[in-house]
Amino acid sequence: MTLYRQLVIFTLVLFLILFTGTWVVTFNSTRSFLINQLESHAQDTATSLGLALSQRAIEKDKAGIESMIDAVFDRGYYRTIKFVDIEGKVILERNLAVAVENVPAWFIDLAPLDAPEANANVMAGWRQAGRIYVKSHPGYAYHALWEDGARMTLWFVACGIFVFLFGGLGLRFLLKPLVLVQRQADAICRKEYESQEPLPRTKELRQVVIAMNRMTGKVKEMFEEQAVFAEGFREHAYRDPLTGLGNRRYFEAQMRARQEQGEGAGGGILLLVQIHDLQQLNRQRGLQAGDELLKAASLILQGTAQPYPNCILARLTGGDFALFLPDSPTWEAPQIAEEMASALSRLAERKLSVAENVTHIGVVTCDVPTAFGSLLSESDLSLRTAQQKGPNAWHVRGISKETERLPAGEQQWKRTLEDVLQARRIRLDGQPVVRTEDRSECLHIEIFSKIVRGEDGEEFRAELFLPFAERLGLVSLLDRVVLEEAMRLDRRQLGVDTVAVNISPTSLNDDVFRDWLSAALKALPPSAPRFAFEFAEFGAIRNLASVKEFRENIQQWGHLMALDHYGQSLSKLSYLRFLRPDYVKVDRAYTEELKDASSDSRFYMGSLCSVAHSIDVMVIAEGVETEEQLELLRGLNVDGMQGYAIDRPKPMAENPAGR
């Protein structure tokens, strides 16, 4: 119960006690007065009647005595008039039954008026002829007492209503600073820092508000220090780059010459580099600024290519570059791509670009002769996948039996995806996410989707078809089919209440998809699992408003919203407070670098946990592959883990009890 209600109730109780006491005292006083009036009235009547009857007694006029008594009694103010002789014999008696109109019987029983009987002597000369007895009728006294009590009760009720209304308003006004203090405390829980102005005039409340404002400022300062500390580690991992050398014709001619000489391009590494925001840079700063950016990027690419003889480096068009490193071992590709992305990202620090997101790099490795067209197609798909990961990201694909069987070109992909969606050939795999402190406790199962091609039953992972689904505008339909399949799962068979499903932020911009999802979530049966909707961090940042609105809608039905691949973006941590996800999954790149207690990744993840926990956001590590990583994560206060060290993805039919 709130303090305001307690004070209102306390005030009303005090008023009720005061009213009851005053009412009882006043009521008893009025009752005593009326009893005295009845006694005085009876005594006056008895005295006057005794004197009047004395003359009749001397004359022994019995008829006159009776007529005088009847005359007095018929006035109706008397209950009993009785005349007795000196021996006590009743000579004449008149009685009237007590009948009180317009007064409840319970009131008469509650407040009896026992009017005393008055008497006076009737003299016949010097001797006593008898005695007259008179008792007043209480009807009028009851009526007066009832009306007086009713008026007093109505008056107190009116006063009580007045006290309740205006006293409540007064208390609300006086307690307003405490209500604002409560809002401040709630805001701090939401990691929103508000100061209360102006200060209240009441001395005690003023001191409380000053202390609360001071605490709010300190908490805000602590959070900002933690955020800056964490952002420093993240910016250490990522930057931005770009410019041009040869042209597209030069590059294609060189590649085809090698193809003709060796019946297909030999093994090696192809890197497709894309520099962003050239047009915006040219509009804002002029063409010279764009040229400077391209030249700086070309110097970096030349530095990367210098250790590799016979390499091919060219500017294809605009901000697109290609670097082919023939006969290079495929295991060097991640290191080359990481060094190149890091070097290019540093151009943003030199203020040569308009944004931190300078580049994306798509990498293809092959250890067998591969057609030039296949290399370009695969590098383009790898570039699209990198763009989904976040700013200055890179992605490596290998030419394998699976990729050789992929549909070639957008039109084939479109036909394949449309056929899959129509026939609903979707397969769901699941991988458990467990609590770090207790691996036997499953937090949720993350669902991974695969599509199955109709003609040969070939399965393709999400990373292979999602870029084309995005480009072809089919991603919301794909998300819907995956969710419909997931909604058929039974939490009792899974052994866990929550399943995590990745959906594209692009789907949130589809009105049809949003309406369907809202209706589907409302209609979920009790056996259906609770859903944790995961968004890739880079996509969520680009759609902050729609993702936040989505979170607010699904939370009313008990579902969760989370960020996946957290740490790939260079955005500030302030968006975390804006989005308020239930948890974040740290990108596996940080987990892979978690090798010992002195690694930068360890410090970054530790500071990230501190910031996230301060705003009630759980932290889950992806890509946990070794027991050493697991032990280090325990020491960093990470809430959950996911990876091969826990369990591999399995078909959902094989996932009872979260395993």
Classify 82 as helix, strand or coil: strand
Residue 395 domain flag: yes
CA distance 241 to 238: 11
Residue 546 domain flag: yes
Domain count, the chain: 4
Classify 405 as helix, strand or coil: coil
CB 266 within 8 A of CB 326: yes
**How, if at all, do strands 442-452 and 426-435 pair?**
antiparallel
What is the residue whose two structure tokens read 């999954």?
A: 585
Classify 104 as helix, strand or coil: coil
Q: Are 507 and 585 found together in one domain? A: yes
Residue 637 domain flag: yes
CB 278 within 8 A of CB 334: no
**Rounded mean pLDDT of the chain?**
79
Residue 265 domain flag: yes
pLDDT digits (tens, 9 = 90+) for 301-357: 888 887 776 778 888 877 888 998 876 767 788 888 888 888 888 887 777 777 888
Predicted local distance difference test score (pLDDT) of residue 237? 37
Could you tell me the two tokens for 106? 């319970």
Question: Quick one: what percent of the chain has pLDDT higher than 70?
Answer: 80
Q: Are 84 and 220 found together in one domain? A: no
**Domain endpoint, select from 352, 380, 404:** 404
Residue 365 domain flag: yes
Region at 529 (left for phi over 0; alpha for psi -120 to 50; beta for the rest): beta
Identify which of 568, 560, 542, 533 has the alpha carbon closest to the alpha carbon of residue 616. Answer: 560
Q: Are 414 and 347 found together in one domain? A: no
Q: Residue 453 carries which side chain, given as an amino acid letter?
A: R
Predicted local distance difference test score (pLDDT) of residue 242? 43
**How, if at all, do strands 78-85 and 127-136 pair?**
antiparallel
Residue 171 domain flag: no
CA distance 130 to 360: 130
DSSP H or E segment with residue 133: strand 127-136
Classify 94 as helix, strand or coil: strand
Task: Judge whether residue 501 has pLDDT over 90.
Answer: yes
CA distance 527 to 531: 12
Could you tell me the two tokens for 279? 């047009």
Sign of CA dihedral 202, 203, 208, 213: positive
CB 650 within 8 A of CB 430: yes
| Banded model confidence at residue 623, pLDDT cuts 50, 70, 90 | confident
Q: Residue 317 carries which side chain, given as an amino acid letter?
A: T
Q: Are 26 and 54 found together in one domain? A: yes
CATH code of residue 299: 3.30.70.270
pLDDT digits (tens, 9 = 90+) for 525-551: 989 999 999 998 877 887 888 999 999
Q: Are 537 and 649 found together in one domain? A: yes
pLDDT digits (tens, 9 = 90+) for 184-237: 666 666 566 667 777 766 666 667 777 777 777 777 776 666 666 666 544 443
Predicted local distance difference test score (pLDDT) of residue 658? 41
CATH code of residue 423: 3.20.20.450
Q: Residue 244 carries which side chain, given as an amino acid letter?
A: G
CATH code of residue 85: 3.30.110.200
pLDDT digits (tens, 9 = 90+) for 116-160: 788 888 887 778 888 889 888 887 788 888 888 888 888 888 887
CB 433 within 8 A of CB 620: yes
Identify which of 50, 18, 288, 38 has the alpha carbon closest to the alpha carbon of residue 138. Answer: 38
pLDDT digits (tens, 9 = 90+) for 392-440: 888 988 875 545 555 655 677 788 888 888 888 888 999 999 999 888 8
Q: Are 391 and 511 found together in one domain? A: no
More confident residue, 92 or 272: 272
Predicted local distance difference test score (pLDDT) of residue 531? 94
Q: Are 400 and 414 found together in one domain? A: no
Alpha helices in 194-286 (DSSP H): 203-237, 248-262, 278-285
Q: CA 289: distance to chain centroid?
A: 46
Residue 242 domain flag: no
Q: Residue 219 carries which side chain, given as an amino acid letter?
A: V
**Domain endpoint, select from 121, 147, 166:** 166
Q: Are 517 and 594 found together in one domain? A: yes
Residue 453 domain flag: yes
Q: Are 387 and 264 found together in one domain? A: yes
Residues 6+ apart with CB under 8 A from 432: 442, 444, 445, 446, 496, 642, 646, 647, 655, 658, 659
Range of the domain at 82: 3-166
Q: Are 160 and 180 found together in one domain? A: no
Q: CA 516: distance to chain centroid?
A: 22
Q: Are 52 and 195 found together in one domain? A: no
Whether cis (ω within 30° of 0) applies to the bond prior to 651 is no
Predicted local distance difference test score (pLDDT) of residue 7? 67
CB 442 within 8 A of CB 458: no
**Domain endpoint, select from 347, 370, 404:** 404
Q: Are 262 and 336 found together in one domain? A: yes
E strands of 334-477, at which residues?
359-366, 394-398, 426-435, 442-452, 459-461
